[in-house]
Amino acid sequence: MPTELHSADLRPVDATALAQAFASGETNPAEAMQSALERMERLNPALNAIIHPRPERALAEAAEAAARWENRRNSPRASQQGVPSPHDITFDGIPMAIKDLGCEQAGEFHHAGARFLVELGWRGSLDSHLYRLLRAAGMVSVGRTNTPEFGTTITTEPVAYGPTANPWDLTRSPGGSSGGSAAAVAAGIVPVAHGNDGGGSIRVPAAACGLVGLKPSRGRVSTAPRLGEHRGGFAVDGMLTRSVRDAARCLDIISRPAPGDPYVAPPLRPGESFADALGAPLPPLRIAMSTGGPGRATAPARHAVELAASLLAELGHRIEPDAAPDGWYSPDLADHTIVVRTVAMSAELAGWAERLGRPMTADDIEPANWWSAELGRSLPASAYVESLAELAGWRRRVMSFWRMNPAGQPSTPDTGGYDLLLTPVLADVTPPLGCLADPADGARRIAELAVFVNQANVSGQPAIALPVAFDPAGLPLGVQLHAAHGGEHLLLAVAQHIADAGGLIPLGDLLPRESP
């Protein structure tokens, strides 16, 4: 594995800056895509982030976007308006990547990290609602990114495609299950990439790779047309980004419900957008801070939370340490989520067996997922229903911790409750590759690391991972903020204030490297 890689010709920027360059004519989508593909060719062999590149189609789609931008710049309206305002920014022609799990694309490889789908050369048969929204916005995919088999772990090391490396250190995990997407964004191949989060799978790789990772509220992003809910409602799609402002604009693009969705997140006010949060003034907020008590978070993870809390206090917010919802760290939560996840894995494999016309076997599936499916098959239906009921009761109890109000806006001080909860993302520093994939000990290590991410998946709340510190080895450490259900606007407003105050670590033109 190389110890040093050469940078691409153009320094990576976030999607908003690139869109502004399109608007000014400084560059265009065709040139940006060519640069992205050149950078992918240079860096991807060391990263193994993008497993299904689509250069020809990407270049053709980017050329179409370039023509649209040319027409905009030459229109009479453009000459009258001059430089577009922040509200007029469009992501037409922005290069992106799609995680190879969900977000189906008609005719494109779709393997979900599974060997049997690789062997079949499986391809998507339709465009998902989410992909249609991204394409309607004009965004162009360079390809699909690596993911662990069925996205069931917090590292990206599938047997089918091999491990993805962290651009900050090629010996470290990029997190998972959206690790391929995170590595592609951190390395500057693309400014944004699709991911999904059923147990920290956006937030963990964002923290590991120094990115912004927003897990939206349940029901904010539709899973149509294949699914109603995914894995008991735990999973939701989103985007990994280089900036808070990109996270807001991406959410505006993808948060469009589809007919038949089983639930929809609380809508914004008429005429409002998530991008409005970027300059929104904030009253003093009441923010709870928790590192989970003794033994849950290591010193580096606690330091990151304390650093973020200190900055938030400087910005005028009230920080209350050692505060968390009652039962937030309950072992019963893990027990019931195991039931839901193992039954979901069993059902997923049964669905593939029906589609393929043959039973699934242990030779098709990695051992951890086969064990999960076997456990799910052994459980009675009543156990699944009972666990869903217990988790619903837990969700109602913890929701009383937050101030509940329309569109996630902060409440007045006399309403009680907290506006936000601040915690680590992972309980420790980013682990080395192989550490979490080890069959004998990986599950225990994952359980120790991931004690702060599962709660938002069960509750359905939005949470945002922000890179605020470095560990002793110089690798990123992330923290996360949780808001009440529907509170993405508040999360984005606070995150942008942190960014404006210089509280996020610089990403810049990161080059993949190995530890010395």
* pTM (whole model) above 0.75: yes
Q: Which residues are part of the catalytic machinery?
A: 99, 177, 201
Return all residues near 353 (Cβ < 8 A) that are at least 6 apart: 359, 360
Cα dihedral across residues 164, 169, 173, 175: positive or negative = negative
> Residue 410: its pLDDT value, please?
52
Q: Map out the domains of the chain as residue ranges.
A: 15-78+85-260+285-325+401-500, 335-393
CA distance 46 to 81: 45
Cβ–Cβ under 8 Å, residues 175 and 428: no
Nearest 10 degrees: Cα torsion 264, 492, 11, 29: 40
**Among candidates 168, 20, 101, 13, which has minimal Cα distance to 369?**
101
Strand 318-321 vs strand 286-289: parallel, antiparallel, or unpaired? parallel
**Among candidates 360, 316, 368, which has minimal Cα distance to 498?**
316
CA 390 to chain CA centroid, nearest Å: 27
Edge-to-edge strands, sheet with 286-289: 50-53, 140-145, 95-99, 192-197, 236-241, 212-215, 463-470, 476-482, 420-424, 286-289, 318-321
The letter for the amino acid at 29 is P
Please give the CATH topology (third level) of the domain spanning 15-78+85-260+285-325+401-500.
Amidase signature (AS) enzymes (3.90.1300)
> Residue 4: its pLDDT value, please?
35
CA distance 133 to 200: 24
Query: pLDDT tens string for the chain (516 positions)?
Result: 333 333 334 579 999 999 999 999 999 999 999 999 999 999 999 999 999 999 999 999 999 999 999 999 888 766 455 555 566 799 999 999 999 999 999 999 999 999 999 999 999 999 999 999 999 999 999 999 999 999 999 999 999 999 999 999 999 999 999 999 999 999 999 999 999 999 999 999 999 999 999 999 999 999 999 988 878 899 999 999 999 999 999 999 999 999 999 989 999 888 899 999 998 999 999 999 999 977 799 999 999 999 999 999 999 999 999 999 999 999 999 999 999 999 999 999 999 999 999 999 999 999 999 999 999 999 999 999 999 999 999 999 999 999 865 444 555 555 579 999 999 999 999 999 999 988 778 889 999 999 999 999 999 999 999 999 999 999 999 999 999 999 999 999 999 999 999 999 998 777 666 654
> Residue 81: its pLDDT value, please?
55
Q: What DSSP character marks residue 265?
A: P
- DSSP letters of 447-461? HHHTTTTHHHHHH--
Classify 469 as helix, strand or coil. Answer: strand
pLDDT for 108-158, tens place per residue? 999 999 999 999 999 999 999 999 999 999 999 999 999 999 999 999 999
